[in-house]
Amino acid sequence: MKNEVNRAFMAKKKILFVLAAALTLVACQKKEQPQSFQYNVDKFYDLEILRYDVPEFDSLSLQQKQLVYCLSEAALWGRDILFDQNGRYNLRIRRACEALYESSNLQILKSSNPEEFAAFERYLKRVWFSNGIHHHYSEDKFLPEFSQEWFVAACEQAGVTYDPAILPVMFDPAVMPKRTTAQDGVDLVLNSAGNYYGEGVTQAEAEAWYAAHKDNSPEPLWIGLNSQLVKADNSQFSILNSQLVERVYKVGGLYGEALEHVVYWLREALKYAENDAQKLAIEKMIAFNETGDLKTFNEYCIAWVKDLDSRVDYVNGFTETYSDPLGITGTWESMVNFKDLAATKRTETISKNAQWFEDHSTTDPKYKKEEVKGVSAKVITAAILAGDCYPATPIGINLPNANWIRKEYGSKSVTIDNLVHAYNEAAKGNGFNEEFMIDDETRALYEKYGAVCGDLHTDLHECVGHGSGKLMPGVTKDALKEHASTIEEARADLFGLYFLGDPKLVELGLLPSADAYKAGYYQQQMNGLMTQLVRIEPGKDIEEAHMRNRQLIANWVYEHATNKEVEIIERDGKHYLKVNDYEGLRRLYGELLAEIQRITSEGDYAAAKEMVEKYAVKVNPELHQEILARYKKLNLAPYKGFVNPVYTAVRDAEGNITDVQIDFSEGYVDQHLRYSKDYSPLPDVN
Ligand code: ZN
CA 463 – ligand 1 centroid, Å: 10
Which of 416, 400, 91, 486 lies closest to 255 in space, CA to CA? 91
Q: Looking at residue 676, what is its pLDDT? A: 98
CA 462 – ligand 1 centroid, Å: 6
CB atoms inside a 10 Å sphere around CB 583: 10
To which H or E segment does residue 660 belong? Answer: strand 657-663
Tell me phi and psi for residue 384, to 5 degrees: -150, 145
For the chain, the C-alpha Rg in angstroms (whole number) is 26
CA 486 – ligand 1 centroid, Å: 9
The SS3 assignment for 49 reads: strand
CA 564 – ligand 1 centroid, Å: 29
Angstrom distance (rounded) from CA 123 to CA 109: 15
CA 549 – ligand 1 centroid, Å: 10
DSSP conformational letter for 424:
H
CA 136 – ligand 1 centroid, Å: 26
CA 368 – ligand 1 centroid, Å: 19
CA 641 – ligand 1 centroid, Å: 25
Which of 661, 641, 642 lies closest to 650 in space, CA to CA? 661
Sheet holding 331-339, edge to edge: 312-320, 331-339, 378-387, 412-416, 396-399
114: left (phi over 0), alpha (psi -120 to 50) or beta: alpha
CA 454 – ligand 1 centroid, Å: 14
Low-confidence ranges of the chain (pLDDT < 70): 1-35, 233-242
CA 508 – ligand 1 centroid, Å: 23
CA 597 – ligand 1 centroid, Å: 15
CA 485 – ligand 1 centroid, Å: 9
Q: Looking at residue 378, what is its pLDDT? A: 82
What residue type is assigned to position 371 of the chain?
E
CA 576 – ligand 1 centroid, Å: 28
CB 586, CB 521: distance < 8 Å = yes
CA 126 – ligand 1 centroid, Å: 33
CA 618 – ligand 1 centroid, Å: 22
CB 199, CB 169: distance < 8 Å = no
Beta strands 639-643; 47-51: pairing state: parallel
CA 226 – ligand 1 centroid, Å: 31
Which of 404, 486, 408 lies closest to 1 in space, CA to CA? 404
What residue type is assigned to position 570 of the chain?
E
CA 159 – ligand 1 centroid, Å: 56
Angstrom distance (rounded) from CA 266 to CA 283: 8
Which of 610, 488, 627 lies closest to 545 in space, CA to CA? 488
CB 519, CB 453: distance < 8 Å = yes
CB 235, CB 686: distance < 8 Å = no
CA 559 – ligand 1 centroid, Å: 24
Angstrom distance (rounded) from CA 646 to CA 648: 7
Q: State how far the alpha carbon of 203 is from the alpha carbons of 211, 214, 342, 411, 470, in Å.
A: 12, 16, 49, 32, 45
To which H or E segment does residue 566 belong? Answer: strand 566-571
CA 227 – ligand 1 centroid, Å: 34
Question: pTM for this structure?
Answer: 0.84
CA 491 – ligand 1 centroid, Å: 9
pLDDT in tens, 97-148: 999 999 988 888 889 999 999 999 999 999 999 999 999 988 999 999 999 9
Beta strands 657-663; 396-399: pairing state: unpaired
For residue 114, with 0-12 CB atoms within 10 Å meaning exposed, 13-18 middle and 19 or more buried, which class applies? exposed
CB atoms inside a 10 Å sphere around CB 152: 14
For residue 161, with 0-12 CB atoms within 10 Å meaning exposed, 13-18 middle and 19 or more buried, which class applies? exposed
CA 438 – ligand 1 centroid, Å: 29
CA 31 – ligand 1 centroid, Å: 25
- Beta-strand ranges (E) seen in 77-133 are none
CA 373 – ligand 1 centroid, Å: 16
Looking at the DSSP bridge assignments, the partners of residue 349 are: none
- Beta-strand ranges (E) seen in 3-135 are 40-44, 47-51
CA 414 – ligand 1 centroid, Å: 13
CA 545 – ligand 1 centroid, Å: 10
CA 599 – ligand 1 centroid, Å: 17
CA 71 – ligand 1 centroid, Å: 31
CA 292 – ligand 1 centroid, Å: 35
Q: At what angle do helices 90-101 and 668-678 cross, to 10 degrees?
A: 120
CA 489 – ligand 1 centroid, Å: 5
Average pLDDT, the chain: 91
- For the CA atoms of 644, 110, 130, 537, what is the dihedral angle to 10 degrees? 110
CB 5, CB 317: distance < 8 Å = no
CA 29 – ligand 1 centroid, Å: 26
Which of 87, 342, 273, 307 lies closest to 197 in space, CA to CA? 87
Angstrom distance (rounded) from CA 290 to CA 264: 11
**CA atoms within 13 Å, Cβ hemisphere of 668:** 26
pLDDT in tens, 371-400: 887 777 789 999 999 999 999 998 878 889
Q: Looking at residue 240, what is its pLDDT? A: 47
Nearest-5° angle of CA 631, CA 633, CA 639? 60
CA 318 – ligand 1 centroid, Å: 26
CA 574 – ligand 1 centroid, Å: 32
CA 544 – ligand 1 centroid, Å: 12
What residue type is assigned to position 607 of the chain?
A
Angstrom distance (rounded) from CA 679 to CA 261: 9
477: left (phi over 0), alpha (psi -120 to 50) or beta: alpha
CA 466 – ligand 1 centroid, Å: 7
Contacts of 77 (CB under 8 A, 6+ apart): 258, 261, 262, 265, 679, 681
- The length of the chain, given as a count of residues: 686
Angstrom distance (rounded) from CA 16 to CA 455: 16
For residue 478, with 0-12 CB atoms within 10 Å meaning exposed, 13-18 middle and 19 or more buried, which class applies? exposed
SS3 per-residue string spanning 451-493: HHHHHHHHHHHHHHHCCCCCCCCCCCCCCCHHHHHHHHHHHHH
Burial of 339-366, coded b for 16+ CB within 10 Å and e otherwise, reads: bbeebbebbebbbebbbbbbeebbbeee
CA 413 – ligand 1 centroid, Å: 12
CB atoms inside a 10 Å sphere around CB 137: 17
CA 423 – ligand 1 centroid, Å: 21
CA 144 – ligand 1 centroid, Å: 41
